[in-house]
Amino acid sequence: MVFEPTSIVIANIRIDEPVTVLTDLLVSGVCFYAYFKLRAISEKIKLHYYLKLYFLTMGIATLLGGVIGHGFLYFFNEITNTSLPVSPWKLPGWYVSMFSIAMLERAVIERSKILVPKRVGWFFSRLNIVELLTFMIITGFSLNFFFVEVHSAYGLLIVTSSFSFLIYTKTRHSGSKRFLLAVGLSAISALVFMNQWGFDKWFNHFDISHTIMALGAWFFYRGARYMVLHPIESEPVEDSLI
């Protein structure tokens, strides 16, 4: 269902889609919280690096998406005299989010290297770069969010879920179990967005999708923290899922 656009004015400043801005900032807040919490851990391994980079860039992407892509898009279009059907000002948030998903892919690929043949890890590590650059180029020329969605679907539903499932079936590691739950929530979020399921104009499909994304980001954080503190090489220590 398509709902009419919403706007509010605070101190003579117009903010479009204010609830969407807030829910974007909710996702951003969870990601920044996760980044700083992971940063406080002293581990110096590639997995840790990729996970920190994932949360940092996803926090930036959703911040850009909320502020530039929704709340003040009209302002940026006006100052650059942009009249295209889809504003190029959407691209910064889209590009950073695509890079972020690629870092999540690299994290699970890196984590699985001791469980898969070396050539498999090598192949997916290279494919990770190729698919990111390919989708970024296509998205830049087309200005079509569909390709951002396809990239996210590939990164989450194929790469992240497959490697996480592989690791979990071989090790019963709780970190991968949380990642699988987070991917499931991400899939629900995508379904809500694609089908435009919303309650009304003040809480539409963007807002529901972002709220579910924030919950998914929390489980990604809990999984990431567990992975860093309890490597596959160590005996997994079960704790509460939350």
Domains in the chain with CATH codes: 7-229 (1.20.1070)
The one-digit pLDDT tens for each residue of the chain (242 residues) are 778 889 999 999 999 999 999 999 999 999 999 999 999 998 778 999 999 999 999 999 999 999 999 999 999 999 988 778 889 999 999 999 999 999 999 999 999 988 999 999 999 999 999 999 999 999 999 999 999 999 999 999 999 999 999 999 998 889 999 999 999 999 999 999 999 999 999 999 999 999 999 999 999 999 999 999 987 754 444 455 55
Token duo for residue 215: 């919950």
Determine the Cα–Cα distance for residues 173 and 47; give it in Å rounded to an integer.
15
Query: Is residue 79 packed enough to be buried (19+ CB in 10 Å), middle (13-18) or exposed (0-12)?
Result: exposed
Kind and range of the H or E element at 22? helix 18-39
Token duo for residue 54: 């994932």
Query: According to DSSP H, which parts of 143-204 are helical?
Result: 145-153, 161-171, 174-195
Determine the Cα–Cα distance for residues 68 and 132; give it in Å rounded to an integer.
23
β 7-10/13-16 pair status: antiparallel
